[in-house]
Amino acid sequence: MPKVKEEQHVFLVGAKSLGAYGGYETFVNKLTEYHQDNKKIKYHVACKANGDGCMDETKVAEVTRISDTEFSYHNAHCFKIHIPNVGPAQAIYYDILALHECCKYIKKKKIKHPIVYIMACRIGPVARYYYYLIHKLGGKIYLNPDGHEWMRAKWSAPIRCYWKISEQLMVKHCDLAICDSVSIEKYIHECYDGKGIKGSDPKTTFIAYGAETRKSQFDDNEPKLLDWYQKKGLNAKGYYLVVGRFVPENNYEIMIREYMKSRSKRDFAIITNVNDKFLDELERRVHFRSDKRIKFVGTVYDQELLMKIRENAYGYFHGHEVGGTNPSLLEALGCTELNLLLDVGFNREVAEESAVYWNKDEGNLAELINRADQMSEIEIRAMGIKAKKRIEEAYSWQSICNRYADIFLYSVR
């Protein structure tokens, strides 16, 4: 490989913050953590200053504040973008403003050969403009095309149409599409080969998200863990767990309905960020409050505590059906022995035979829960061994971050 003589500046655009449960947020957090001592790469991370999922650096350890809008974390330069309240278009506006700030910084600091890595395909209509502007500044645009944003249930038909067109324009105007799933990479070529700039095929590579298989630093008698259990009415191996954003395409409502139909004596702990209005609407639809096993337990920002909660879960549910390699699934496979996954291609691709699968047919998941409750310790332990082996062989954060370092350092000049 060629020797890198200059520090490579990499600008990360698309994550909301460094303390949320989203895939891009987890990715940025781990990428900067594993590369914090790499003197050859300097990261610059855009974060939301306000609105849903915004960055609150006071809740994150090891942050050094530079100003009201800048801070250092994992040796990365992080800058906050204030977004006007423009309704559903806020995410699009956020990415545009973040790109604008990146270009200003690159020009001001006279940075050579910058890489701007954009996560998600939200800004297609202005992709061409920034593609040529960043090229004029001597840089390259890399893209993570995410997993079929246009298919997400929360969007209306016109917005889905926008996402699909935006995806096409962004794939067209990038130097490299880094796909976090083999299925996504295949989809990109099936849809866009022959439709790129000057008819060229999109250049792609596959790099998954990562996970860890180490044990939490907390033991079973950790006071913070026991206090959390007491407040939430839970106990080790006495609950099933799910962690993530409560959005339609993650099928939380189906999981709750099915759990209520099951005969399990264990609790169903849901770690997510929801408000009273949302819970009232959910109650109207499924009447979950009549079932004492269903427990919304809030958010957990302490990563060691969250890892221990995963380890101590009897089983983990994963209902994502849109997207690529999902971080919460990888983390579950790395921590939890028994994983019950929605049977879709993305999840099969990741877990293979290290998990059990359910579908959305009425009663299917409830019956699987009943069977899971009867599994022996030996059966569950064997599933856990398979899951951790799968992560170690294909999804370790160390190997994933090494791949990114190679891409950033040796594919630009």
- The residues spanned by each domain of the chain are 8-210+397-410, 223-394
More confident residue, 113 or 349: 113
Measured over the CA atoms of residue 248, residue 185, residue 34 and residue 391, the dihedral's sign is positive
User: Would the pTM of this model clear 0.85, i.e. be above it?
Assistant: no
Nearest to 212 by CA among 9, 407, 26: 26
Decide: helix, strand or coil at residue 17.
coil
| Helix or strand (DSSP H, E) at 104 | helix 90-109
pLDDT for the residue numbered 4: 55
CA angle (131 as vertex; 129, 136 as ends), nearest 5: 95
C-alpha span between 227 and 195 (Å, rounded)? 57
Give 227-245 pLDDT, tens digit per residue: 999 999 999 999 999 998 8
The stretch 31-38 carries a mean pLDDT of 96
Fold classification of 223-394 is Rossmann fold (3.40.50)
Q: What's the CATH number of domain 8-210+397-410, 3.40.50.2000, 3.10.105.10, 3.30.465.10, 3.40.50.1580?
A: 3.40.50.2000
CA angle (287 as vertex; 282, 292 as ends), nearest 5: 110
Q: Is the pLDDT of residue 322 over 80?
A: no
Angle formed by the axes of helices 223-232 and 303-311, to 10°?
70
pLDDT for the residue numbered 3: 57
- As a whole-number percent, the residues of the chain with pLDDT over 70 amount to 93
Q: Is the pLDDT of residue 8 over 60?
A: yes
φ, ψ (nearest 5 deg) of residue 242: -145, 140
Give 137-195 pLDDT, tens digit per residue: 999 999 998 766 555 655 667 777 888 899 989 999 999 999 988 888 888 888 887 66
Contact indicator for 35, 77 with CB cutoff of 8 Å? no
Most confident of 86-90, 155-159, 195-199, 311-315: 311-315
Q: Is the pLDDT of residue 413 over 50?
A: no
Could you check whether 8-210+397-410 and 223-394 share the same CATH topology?
A: yes
Decide: helix, strand or coil at residue 22.
coil
